[in-house]
Amino acid sequence: MGRYLLIPLVLGLLMFSCVRDVEIDLEDQPDRIVLNASVSPGKEVRAHISKTWFIMDSIPDFELPGAEVRVYINDEFQGFMRNDDVPGDSVNLSGQYVLPGCFVKQGDRVRVEVEADGYEPVSGETYVPHEARIYEVDTLSYRSSSYYDEHMRFSVKIDFELDCYYRLVVEQLMEFRKGDSTWIATSFQSLGGYNWYYSGFSLNYEDPIFQSFGGSPITSQMDGRYCMGVFTGKDLINTDAVEVSISPVEYSYESDTLSKVVHYDVRLLSISEDYYRYMKIMRGYSITIGDANFGALIEPADTYSNVENGFGIVAGYQEDKLRITMPKDTIPPYWDPWYGYRSFW
């Protein structure tokens, strides 16, 4: 079928723009099953099952009812997963599956197989990597020379192996309390599904190990909202410490009517090679320089998938976490869940 797209051409030197019609022949492709799962010791085996949909559709249709999902650990059948969707859930997408009572351990190989009427069966396999471990975290506060914003650098000393894969993330959590009411929000997502404040939160992967995929040190810096930060043990040269920094820096606060407790959770994940290869490609889609995002200017690349006959990723990981709680400041927060933004106090 023929479809038309309007492609704007910006001619900077001539200071004018024009539009031309380009006909693109987009062949109809059969829908495929999308399987996403991450497994880790101490957590029941879970997966998200959906299907592909055409990007030009006005209403995305990705739900796949009636899927049959089987789990194997070390080639031994463990059981059928059951649908775990919660009616009215506004945070999690429909298509959640779980195998109650099924847990994995280090070294296990896990395979998930999915069948549904009218679709080609798919399967994905991964392994559970070795344990992740943070020895210690040193922090350093400094001011930016350009905007004089306060930054905090984390020097994370870790246990690592040369032939293994890792991911480092710093999550900011803020616990607001007013009387008997409590509100918790994080730089990943607020617990109520309300992504509010964190368009300004930045996690800068400044260590050279995060620039190994290519690009200059400037264009290799990633926006923290995308939660990337993968590297290998071989990337660490003559050191066992990895450095990242965050801004702006938030402090705790307490008054007679309002309190705010700020935590920074430093998370080190040991990850499977599947996890690493997927994130290695995806992180390149969100290159930022200052306030400008140049993700649309990079070369196209295929998204990595280890799901046979379908799409998605089945990955394994283990996680270690160290929490830093910020001291109290005398300046009230300029935002809180009850009063919103305040221009003065």
The reported pLDDT for the residue numbered 1 is 42
* pLDDT above 80 (res 68): yes
pLDDT bucket at 307, cuts 50 / 70 / 90: very high
pLDDT bucket at 313, cuts 50 / 70 / 90: very high
Alpha-carbon dihedral sign for residues 85, 87, 89, 94:
positive
Least confident of 149-153, 170-174, 186-190, 298-302: 298-302
What gap in Å lies between CA 149 and CA 132, rounded to an integer?
Answer: 33
Model confidence pLDDT, tens digit, residues 109-149: 999 999 999 999 999 999 999 999 999 999 999 887 666 68
pTM over 0.85: no
The reported pLDDT for the residue numbered 227 is 44
* pLDDT above 90 (res 272): yes
Average pLDDT, rounded, for the chain: 81
The reported pLDDT for the residue numbered 91 is 67
The reported pLDDT for the residue numbered 4 is 41
